[in-house]
Amino acid sequence: MSELFSRKLIRGCARVASVGAVAVLAAAASHGTAAAAVDNSRILPLDDGRAIEVIQADTSTQSVPPLDSSPLSVEFFHDEVATVRITGPGAETSAGTAVEVGLQVGYPVFLPGATVTLYTPNLDWGVESGAALNIGIAPEFALELGLESGGALGGQIIPSQEIEIPLEPGGITDVPIVEDFTFDGASTTIRIAGVHGSVSGAVGPVMIRPYLKAVTADRDTVVTYGVPQRV
């Protein structure tokens, strides 16, 4: 689906398709769901005695009245904590595990030109020293790196990003919030807050279902899905 993406620079652009609250995404090589309320999870046993688990916690999708007041538009804000955890022999030496966090958008009918737009006004990440982190971003995005106190590596992707995806025939469109993200080690946690989404051109009720997918370097894949919610 990546070819359907249209990633635009927000700063310096004359048109902003949506305005959202500050969004923060952080990825840390730790068990970050200890204080979070787990909503759903799934475990995939691997052939070598290890297992990979995907966990969604503190998931929240808040529907708001669309600013354009159109009966064919919906708007929402999304928060969640997504954790991928590898257990078993040699889990700490695992490498190249890919993570995707996103939303499935469902609708009965759509008009030509209908789209889903996500806007993240701010994108931060951090990882503890000694762990590896790789993020795939559009070439025009700048990446600032810095060493925070306590030996944690952190940075900020500038500018904020807008993701626009055409609605697909069939009534369901996958909309990744985080993709092309890989980590080395036993676990990573991604925290998302205040991501603003809008759907235009959908006829009838619109449903949102969050998902979290992990793919190992050997292509073993596990996915968990949240509870669908009407927006």
The 10 Å Cβ neighbour count of residue 122 is 18
> Do the domain assignments include residue 224?
no
Q: Is the peptide bond before 159 cis (omega within 30 degrees of 0)?
A: yes
Count of domains for the chain: 1
Burial 155-173 (b: 16+ CB within 10 A, else e): bebebbbbbbbbbbeeeeb
Domain containing 65: what range? 2-218
> Do the domain assignments include residue 158?
yes
- pLDDT tens string, the chain, 231 residues long: the values are 433 333 332 223 322 222 233 334 444 434 444 567 999 999 999 988 999 999 999 999 999 999 999 999 999 999 999 999 999 999 999 999 999 999 999 999 999 999 999 887 554 444 443 444 444 333 333 333 333 334 444 444 434 678 899 998 888 999 998 888 899 999 999 888 889 999 999 999 999 999 999 999 999 999 999 999 999
> Do the domain assignments include residue 226?
no
Q: What is the CATH number of the domain that holds 147?
A: 2.60.40.1650
> Do the domain assignments include residue 231?
no
> Do the domain assignments include residue 157?
yes
Q: How many CA atoms lie within 13 A of 26 on its CB side?
A: 15
* pLDDT value, residue 153: 43
> Do the domain assignments include residue 223?
no
User: How far apart (Å, rounded) are the C-alpha atoms in residues 193 and 196?
Assistant: 9
pTM: 0.74
User: How far apart (Å, rounded) are the C-alpha atoms in residues 72 and 108?
Assistant: 12
> Do the domain assignments include residue 66?
yes
> Do the domain assignments include residue 105?
yes
